[in-house]
Structure 1
Amino acid sequence: MARNRNNRNHNNRNQLAAKTTAKSTGNKLFPQLVEKTVTQTRQDIAKWKAALNGFNNTDSPSVYLLYNLYDSILDDALLTSQIENRIQDTLGSSFNLSKKGGDIDEELTTTFQNSELFNDLITHIINSRFYGHSLVELDWKQDGLNEPQLKADLIPRQNVLSKKGVMLFDYNEDKGIKYREVPEFGTWVLEFGKPGEKGLLNKAVPHTLFKRFAQSCWSELCEIYGIPPRVYKTDASDPAAVARGKKMMQDMGSAAWFIIDTEESFEWAKGVNTNGDVYGNLLNFCDNQNSLLISGAVVGQDTKHGSNSKEQASQKLLSKLVLADMAMVEMYMNTKVMPALARIGVVPADYVFQWEISEDLGTLWERTVQALQHFDVDPEWVKDKFGIQVTGIKQNPTPVPGTNLNVAESFFV
């Protein structure tokens, strides 16, 4: 039976190889986009409010200001790390591809396990939580002399009016195409997320902007606190004395000495009486809020009031969010991606995507040891599951610490 199944899989591979040269019909959306240069300007709360007003405009929505702001705040190291933690935890998990209700297709699973196509699709699906929406176009692309590979291009969110189902060729103009009405939609063009949603990043905007403000002010404080202003006293009514004083202060630079007239004086201004606690507290508050937003808890930042139990509880909350991301990925993969790939000819029809459930080997080992008191356990299963080479039954009985099991009743050596 196993040989027949392998033959069927081999036949499926041959059939798929003949289909992978299929091309999509009609014009591609991604090549029609007008590439734009995004200027780096100072962002503040007023610009965030203006971007929200444009996004929420019913008659003539404009989303590019908000998504440009999202790209800007992702320069923040903590926010990026929190998002990457969730994405990488999902990408690092193993999945299986199998016919619905059938055995796992090991060859097909191995082919796509670390493929660029599936990694990109999973990333775009998870990012729909943070951005609110993702529109992806599949296309065959060839790198050099290599065989063409199916790849997923993300349509820039600045160009997508998801509430109206319109993709703008230039986000500064109103000329576009209703992408849900093109024949390729659902096969070559895939949509993830809820139309009109702003995503979690919208809630991170004010905290990130306030954090930048606090960092800027704190850096200025460091400059003033480390090198207090210098005060030079002279006859302000004498232009020559004033000019001489300006030149003297410029020439002094970082030198520790200079010469002044006996009628003039020089002193250091009194420095500020704070070490920047007010800015540090604002920075910590903003970091904690973004950590709560993305990870569900303050994970790894609070070293002053942290504890092992607190970190463990935080990791459990983060794990629950990762599991929710994985459930969403599995849902979109089975309802949109796998049917689309089947129509393209990359996977057989009626194949499903499933995450591989990881086992707690510590708990399983304890249960195995307890089961040995009453049941026979397959040595091959023990070898495959725990990596223990079982060669026979040990005849000399010795007690196993922590259990009532006699090793003479087991087969471990």
Structure 2
Amino acid sequence: MANRKVRSIARNKIELAAKKPSATSSSSGLVNQIMPVSMSRVRQDVLTWNTALTMARKAENPRRHLLMNLYDEIFIDGLLRSQISNRFLKSLSSNFIISDKSGKINEEVTNFLQDKIWVNEINKAILGTITHAHSVVELSWIQTQNNQAATEPQLKADLIKRQNIDPKAGLFFADYRDDKSIAYREMKEYGTWILEFGNADDLGLMNCAVPHVLFKRFAQSCWSELCEIVGIPPRVMKTDTQNVSMLRRAESMMKNMGAAAWFIIDDNETFEWAEATKTDGVVYQNLMTFCNNELSMLFNGAVMGQDTKNGSRSKETAMQETLQTLVDSDLSLIEQYWNSTIIPALINIGIISGECVFSYPETEDIAQLWTMTKEAMTDYEMNIEWMNTTFGFQIVKAKQIAAAPATKLSLEDGFFV
């Protein structure tokens, strides 16, 4: 039976390789036409954001490359990246199933897709529509080398840079600084090798995060400048400035004070530390805390983990429930695009065949389910296969409890003595 299944899979791979058209090789396609552009890092401010928004919202010939470049720039913020990862990694790590319309799980197709990198890349692009509002993915075949021998071509999914896409008009720009474009929705590969996700009229959650990241950077810059000025109080030395030798000697002593914090001064000279300002930067800290809280609310629906001063176990539990609601919504979005867009494309390519429905199993509260299971085990026999699958046990069979040997009493034992 196992050999027959292996031969079946091998035969499917051979048939799949025969169906691959040359037009979809990795040497062609929109991704390989993108012109690399050198990016110079400059200070970003609200004016930059407003300019990018104006260009993206133009009624005629809107261009989003400035806004997408700004999104890439603010994404280096540590808290912003962690909040997005905290939400999306839950969806990307969830196991899915492929079944037919009657609900019967197709284990062969499910196992085939579970460990594919391009499946994960497609799901990332779908989740990217939440942050960036729009994604275009191009599928292609790649030929890899293994020990100097060509291996079987593998499917690859590439996200076309959003700077090079105009989703409203459906245009692709090889160089987003140029006006030459390709109408990708009119290409024959559209819908099969070129997949599109998202809303062309939206700008994503990253647009709401831009001002908070910019204001936080401003507060950090001001706070660091305050540390530089106030961290070490200024030193003041009074001397006779008309006397050149005394002035030079005082300058030399002040310059070398960092290495030798002592010196000899004249009776007419004085040295003292100037009194620094009383501020401690709390105004900058409050602004940064406010921006961090807004970013957490934006992507996770609650301030999670950062508020250690006012946090509590009950609040964290409620926040986790709020986050799980958003994750369930993300999983539903992935299911919709797989069933409406991706599965028909994979069937046309020849990756899969037959009736296929993409879905995620319903999430269960394992702790509560285990409590209920333990209570039921006292009165009922449980399904061992179900317990192994649900709780990850390795139960083989029920444990046999040896009966205690019966004690025989007789008159010789001296019972009545």
Deviates more, 1:340-349 or 1:311-320: 340-349
Question: Which residue is 1:404 aligned to?
Answer: none
- Pick aligned residue for 2:231 from 226, 232, 237: 226
2:356 corresponds to which letter in structure 1? Y
Contact 1:117-1:151 within 8 A present in 2 as well: yes
**Separation (CA, whole Å) in 2 of partners of 1:195 and 1:203:** 17
Question: Which residue is 1:170 aligned to?
Answer: 175
TM-score by length of 1: 0.86
Deviation readout 1:52-107 (Å, 9 max, x if unpaired) = 11111222322111111111111111110000011110111101123333532223
**Separation (CA, whole Å) in 1 of partners of 2:384 and 2:334:** 37
Indicate yes or no: 2:61 matched with 1:60.
yes
Secondary structure of 1:20's partner?
Answer: helix
Stretches of structure 1 that go unaligned for 5 or more consecutive residues are 397-413
2:21 corresponds to which letter in structure 1? K
Shift of 1:275: 1.8
Contact 1:234-1:264 within 8 A present in 2 as well: yes
Question: Which residue is 1:45 aligned to?
Answer: 46
Instruction: Classify 1:350/1:288 alpha carbon distance in 2 versus 1 (closer, same or farther; 3 Å).
Output: same
Deviates more, 1:280-289 or 1:365-374: 365-374
Question: Which residue is 1:94 aligned to?
Answer: 95
2:98 corresponds to which letter in structure 1? L
- Pick aligned residue for 1:20 from 17, 27, 35: 17
**Separation (CA, whole Å) in 1 of partners of 2:67 and 2:168:** 15
Instruction: Classify 1:374/1:42 alpha carbon distance in 2 versus 1 (closer, same or farther; 3 Å).
Output: same
Shift of 1:368: 4.4
Secondary structure of 1:136's partner?
Answer: strand
Matches within 5 A, 1:96-115: 96-101=97-102, 103-115=104-116
1:316 corresponds to which letter in structure 2? E
Deviation readout 1:194-226 (Å, 9 max, x if unpaired) = 013210011011111111111111122222232
TM-score by length of 2: 0.85
Shift of 1:17: 3.4
Deviation readout 1:25-58 (Å, 9 max, x if unpaired) = 3751111110111111111111111111111122
Matches within 5 A, 1:206-225: 206-225=211-230
Question: Which residue is 1:183 aligned to?
Answer: 188
Secondary structure of 2:294's partner?
Answer: helix
Secondary structure of 1:192's partner?
Answer: strand
1:98 corresponds to which letter in structure 2? S
2:145 corresponds to which letter in structure 1? G
Contact 1:95-1:356 within 8 A present in 2 as well: yes
Deviation readout 1:102-144 (Å, 9 max, x if unpaired) = 5322232222213211111111110110011111111111232
1:299 corresponds to which letter in structure 2? M
**RMSD, aligned α-carbons:** 2.9
Question: Which residue is 1:205 aligned to?
Answer: 210
Instruction: Classify 1:50/1:382 alpha carbon distance in 2 versus 1 (closer, same or farther; 3 Å).
Output: closer
Indicate yes or no: 2:291 matched with 1:286.
yes
- Pick aligned residue for 1:276 from 278, 281, 285: 281
Indicate yes or no: 2:337 matched with 1:332.
yes
Instruction: Classify 1:239/1:44 alpha carbon distance in 2 versus 1 (closer, same or farther; 3 Å).
Output: farther
Instruction: Classify 1:250/1:359 alpha carbon distance in 2 versus 1 (closer, same or farther; 3 Å).
Output: same
**Separation (CA, whole Å) in 2 of partners of 1:78 and 1:143:** 37
Stretches of structure 2 that go unaligned for 5 or more consecutive residues are 404-417
Deviates more, 1:25-34 or 1:71-80: 25-34
Shift of 1:365: 4.1
Contact 1:48-1:69 within 8 A present in 2 as well: yes
Question: Which residue is 1:391 aligned to?
Answer: 398
Instruction: Classify 1:354/1:380 alpha carbon distance in 2 versus 1 (closer, same or farther; 3 Å).
Output: closer
Instruction: Classify 1:250/1:58 alpha carbon distance in 2 versus 1 (closer, same or farther; 3 Å).
Output: farther
Instruction: Classify 1:167/1:258 alpha carbon distance in 2 versus 1 (closer, same or farther; 3 Å).
Output: farther
Question: Which residue is 2:407 aligned to?
Answer: none
Secondary structure of 1:153's partner?
Answer: strand
Instruction: Classify 1:47/1:246 alpha carbon distance in 2 versus 1 (closer, same or farther; 3 Å).
Output: farther
1:128 corresponds to which letter in structure 2? T
2:398 corresponds to which letter in structure 1? T
Shift of 1:369: 5.5
Instruction: Classify 1:238/1:43 alpha carbon distance in 2 versus 1 (closer, same or farther; 3 Å).
Output: farther
1:340 corresponds to which letter in structure 2? A
2:94 corresponds to which letter in structure 1? S
Instruction: Classify 1:252/1:383 alpha carbon distance in 2 versus 1 (closer, same or farther; 3 Å).
Output: closer
